[in-house]
Structure 1
Amino acid sequence: MTLLPWSHSCSAGFTLRGWHSPPSGKPLLHFIHGNGFCGRTYEPMLALLAEDFDLWLCDMQGHGDSDHGGPFLGWNRNAELAVEAFVAGKVIFGDVPRYALGHSFGGVLTSLIVAAHPKMFTRVVLLDPVLFPEQEMVKRRLLGWLLPNPLADGTRKRRAQWEDRQAAFAKLQGRGIFQGWEDAALRAHVEHALRDEPGQGVVLKCSPDREAEIFESAPRGLWRSLNRIKTPVRLIHGDKTYPFVKQSAARLLARNVHVTVEEVPGGHCFMQENPQGAAQRVLAFLL
């Protein structure tokens, strides 16, 4: 799979970066990663999808090769910045069908994009999107920092530096969110989501503080946006994912006739546990 770098000086005053495949006339697939990852973390799945699609991978604020950009600007603003970069860059692909794919945090951003820009994509797949329940979002807005947030607290304590990529692979393999990942998927993450730092070995491109900022925040008007979606959407979640993801998927299925839901074996990162199976399911719905 050949990927070329792109960059976009966005209206928020920093640069978004990512990767795209050389334009070939195939349908174009826009992809956004999960929190703490980057687009190329998912290379095993994306390489399979590249047989049928040209790819546009967007690293969001503070992730991958994109600028940190100061304080996190929020889910909604980041979704619009992704649109801004895509509108500027998609010209080189010509008038081809456009599709969208997103995982976790990236799945939510993709849903916000689809709701606000209904003609941008023909079909969309959301991989285990973290669609927060409405009552949880209300509590967050009212109580904010008073509520416990073990995800954010644990993230800030997470190790962010290793002597080299081999050491990082050995320490991450089978632990935490990486449990069950295929070796190729973890290698892609270690290769592309870490950077070389003189005198420090390798460090995470997405700082734990940025990842925690995202865990401490939530999109505005998420369920109003989800209810407005008119584009055909397939939501695929793992059978061992977070309970709230399953509950929100069922609620969205009941509310929006344009959404279908599919459960597959695996956890929140099922596409990293079985890239081949995930690619097949994505392809089957999009094409």
Structure 2
Amino acid sequence: MNVVVRETPARRNLPLPEGAMSYLEWGYDDPGKTPLHFAHANGFNALTYQRILGALGDEFHVRAWDARGHGATTLPADPANHRNWYVYRDDLIAMAEDFVKATGQKIILAGHSMGGTASIMAAAARPDLVRGLVLADPVMIPSGARYIMMLSQRLGIGGNPLADGAERRRAVFADRKTIVDRYAGRGAFRTWPREFVEDYVEGGTRIREDGQVELLCAPAWEAANFRAQGHNITQAVRNLHVPFALLYAEHGSTCRARYPMLLKRRDPKAQVTQIRGATHFLPMEFPKLVIDEVRAFRDRLEREGR
């Protein structure tokens, strides 16, 4: 990996009626920079992606949230009442409204996995706030598969391996190094550079009063996100009226078969690219490619006068 962190981000809070949305900010020194918001994947946090976002801070005014139930954000997250990802759409709209107010410009929404899905839904609902989208393997499940998944869960038949695995995740460790050593090179982190694992652990844990370290995204909430598939991503795509760029994985992509072409119909000029050799964790595997895609998308918007 050849991406160097150039700038330490500022930690900010956006007060909301239910609590505070925490986010990191890079490149806020120049009001003329292009505003970009990045939304992370389920179970992760903003700092996980600092090798990408810090590198963009020279040219972009970057914000990256800790989504509800993740990182330093204090908004309520009740697994028992979590049915869909519309709450992330609405939270992201609140973030976008504040970002637009602060900069006086529409913003680019970027996101990985669940963060990409939330970005699509927010852009479809509020195109007045959004200049365009850069998506890294968003979760896009066809309606039929979603209904079968939800019915199976309701009837207690079958299972959800991702949710079941998340629920079994250990939440408390002796220290952060123990977590990094346990995760690096294994399971979902198998293809991650160690630096990304270290950033994930730093941004996604807290030190308790007893000196032990605890995950900030509770395993039950991470599991609930995997099961909460009541949102309609197909309808959001049909309502999408902003330009976008899409990167999706060759192996184990969550951007299911028909969606790249369904998206392409919404923006015939879009760059839609399957990344050879990539898994669902393509931002960690190909960080420079994601950086280059964000820059190329900004350049496209400027050429088109958007």
Identity %: 25
d(CA) in 2 for partners of 1:277, 1:17: 27
Structure 2 residue 131 is matched with structure 1 residue 126: no
Which residue does the alignment assign to 2:14?
8
Q: Which runs of 5+ in 1 are unaligned?
A: none
> How many angstroms does 1:286 deviate by?
2.7
Query: Does the CA contact (< 8 Å) of 1:237 and 1:246 recur in 2?
Result: no
AA aligned to 1:245 is C
Q: TM-score, normalised by structure 1?
A: 0.91
Aligned to 1:221: 232
Name the counterpart of 1:171. 182
- Could you say what secondary structure the match of 1:252 adopts? helix
DSSP 3-state at the match of 1:8:
strand
Return the alpha-carbon distance in structure 2 between the equivalents of residues 286 and 241 of structure 1: 28
Q: Which TM-score applies when normalising by structure 2?
A: 0.86
Aligned to 2:78: 71
The alpha-carbon distance between structure 1 residues 281 and 119, as it changes in their structure 2 partners (threshold 3 A), is same
The whole-number CA distance in structure 1 between the counterparts of 2:194 and 2:234 is 36
Structure 1 vs Structure 2 CA RMSD? 2.0
Shift of 1:124: 0.9
SS of aligned partner of 2:130: coil
CA separation in 2, counterparts of 1:40 and 1:219? 28
The answer on 1:32 being equivalent to 2:39 is: yes
CA distance in 2, matches of 1:6, 1:63: 15
> Could you tell me whether the CA contact under 8 Å between 1:127 and 1:236 is conserved in 2?
yes
Question: What amino acid sits opposite 2:200 in the alignment?
Answer: H
- The runs of at least 4 aligned residues of structure 1 exceeding 6 Å deviation read none
Of 189, 192, 206, which residue of structure 1 is paired with 2:200?
189
CA distance in 2: counterparts of 1:117 and 1:97, whole angstroms: 11
**1:111-122 pair list within 5 angstroms:** 111-122=120-131
Q: How far is 1:228 from its partner?
A: 1.2
Offset at 1:15?
2.1
Distance in 2 (alpha carbons) for counterparts of 1:167 and 1:263: 35
Q: Structure 1 stretch 259-268 or stretch 59-68: which is displaced more?
A: 259-268
SS at match of 1:188: helix
CA distance in 2, matches of 1:245, 1:239: 10
Q: In structure 2, do the counterparts of structure 1 residues 28 and 254 end up closer, same or farther at CA, with 3 Å as the change threshold?
A: closer
Cα distance change, pair 283–15 in 1 and its aligned pair in 2 (3 A): same
CA displacement at 1:254 relative to structure 2: 5.7
| Structure 1 CA distance for aligned equivalents of residues 91 and 75 of structure 2 | 14
Q: 1:97 and 1:84 mapped to 2: Cα distance?
A: 13
